């Protein structure tokens, strides 16, 4: 039926809608190699504490879960020493930006900007590498924050990647900067922290920790390997230090979580990996991989 007859005139029918809360976290950036900095966390956007989306029943809406960026692979200063940025995650009109890759050293010491920025490394000459910036994008809250840097630049360590609630930590000595902290969210029914930055590489001492929210830890010289960002958190990957173990670690994949009244039914389309659970009058759809469409009835 396309309308209602009122006084002999066909009046348009008001579309039926569903109100959907969302959490959209992008893939985290990969950590750099050879004095590698931590990767930035994937961009973080949520309606919790803000405004949910009102969507038309029967219409299809795009969902994409962004993958984490690869770690840097070079054993010396080169373009492939930088970590790769993560991929964007999308739900309907909401896009979260992939986290920026962490820097390598010398001519490749600048971190990459993204949802949260990758950390900076150092130049052999006295000039500090810069951190990648996070994406404010006019959003409230912002998607994420900048990475950390090396102060002074002659250190043999690297800065941490930015997180969704804090900048990556700087380093001023032999230990790398820790990753910036992520953000706790209870859309799933319990509090989970997402989008922490990766830790930077250390010349000696203990490994720099990843930020709370799935950030991977940085490696130490040739003795301790860096770790990857945790899958489905958007955590940044840890940076690695020396040629003997020079490969930086990958960022964690993102996630899309949707919450809506349990009187409505979602269809999760082909190409997406997802599941649903119901509690307290709401259904929570958790989508962990792929790209495709969702709709409600």
- Residues 138, 56: Cα–Cα separation, whole Å: 26
Q: Where are the beta strands (DSSP E) in 15-134?
A: 17-25, 44-46, 53-56, 61-64, 89-91, 94-96
* Residues whose CB is less than 8 angstroms from the CB of residue 207 and which lie 6 or more positions away in sequence, other chains included: 176, 199, 217, 218, 219, 220, 224, 226, 238
> Which sign, positive or negative, has the C-alpha torsion 85, 90, 93, 94?
negative
- According to DSSP, the β-strands at 282-296 and 9-12 are unpaired
Say what percent of the chain tops pLDDT 70: 90
In 3D, which of 165, 198, 176, 178 has the Cα closest to residue 122?
176
Give the mean pLDDT of the chain. 91
177-234, pLDDT tens digit by residue?
Answer: 999 999 999 999 999 999 999 999 998 888 999 999 999 999 998 889 999 999 999 9
Q: What is the pLDDT of residue 107?
A: 81
User: Is-cis flag, bond preceding 152, omega within 30?
Assistant: yes
Judged by DSSP in three states, 245 sits in helix
164 vs 114: CA distance, rounded Å: 11
pLDDT digits (tens, 9 = 90+) for 23-75: 999 999 999 998 999 999 999 999 998 999 999 999 999 999 999 999 998 76
Which of 250, 231, 210, 209 minimizes the C-alpha distance to 33?
Answer: 250
Q: What is the mean pLDDT of residues 83-98?
A: 97
The band of 2, judged by pLDDT with boundaries at 50, 70 and 90, is: very low
CA angle 173, 31, 123 (to 5 degrees): 45
Name the residue among 263, 149, 269, 158 with its Cα closest to residue 218: 158
- Mean pLDDT, residues 102-122 taken together: 93
Taking alpha carbons only, the member of 189, 204, 190, 192 closest to residue 164 is 192
Q: Which are the contacts of 6, defined by CB distance < 8 A and separation ≥ 6?
A: none
Question: Is the whole-model pTM more than 0.75?
Answer: yes
Q: What is the maximal distance between C-alpha atoms in the chain?
A: 83
């Amino acid at each position: 039926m396309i309308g209602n007859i009122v006084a002999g005139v066909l009046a348009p029918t008001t579309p039926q809608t569903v109100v959907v809360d969302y959490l959209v976290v992008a893939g985290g950036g990969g950590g750099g190699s050879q004095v590698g900095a931590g990767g930035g966390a994937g961009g973080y956007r949520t309606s919790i504490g803000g405004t949910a989306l009102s969507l038309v029943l029967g219409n299809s809406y795009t969902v994409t879960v962004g993958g984490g960026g690869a770690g840097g692979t070079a054993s010396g200063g080169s373009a492939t020493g930088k970590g790769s940025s993560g991929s964007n995650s999308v739900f309907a009109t909401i896009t979260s930006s992939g986290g920026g890759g962490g820097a390598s050293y010398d001519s490749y010491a600048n971190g990459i900007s993204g949802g949260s920025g990758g950390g900076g490394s150092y130049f052999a000459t006295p000039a500090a590498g810069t951190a990648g910036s996070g994406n404010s994008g006019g959003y409230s809250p912002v998607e994420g924050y900048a990475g950390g840097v090396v102060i002074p630049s002659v250190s043999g360590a690297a800065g941490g990647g930015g997180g969704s609630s804090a900048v990556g930590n700087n380093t001023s000595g032999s230990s790398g900067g820790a990753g910036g902290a992520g953000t706790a969210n209870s859309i799933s029914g319990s509090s989970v922290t997402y989008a922490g930055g990766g830790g930077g590489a250390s010349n000696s001492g203990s490994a720099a920790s990843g930020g709370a929210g799935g950030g991977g830890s940085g490696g130490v010289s040739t003795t301790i390997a860096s770790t990857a960002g945790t899958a489905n958190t958007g955590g940044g990957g840890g940076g690695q230090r020396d040629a003997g173990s020079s490969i930086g670690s990958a960022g964690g994949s993102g996630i899309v979580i949707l919450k809506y009244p349990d009187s409505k039914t979602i269809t999760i389309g082909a190409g997406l990996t997802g599941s649903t659970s119901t509690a307290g009058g709401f259904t929570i759809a958790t989508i962990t991989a792929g790209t495709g469409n969702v709709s409600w009835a």
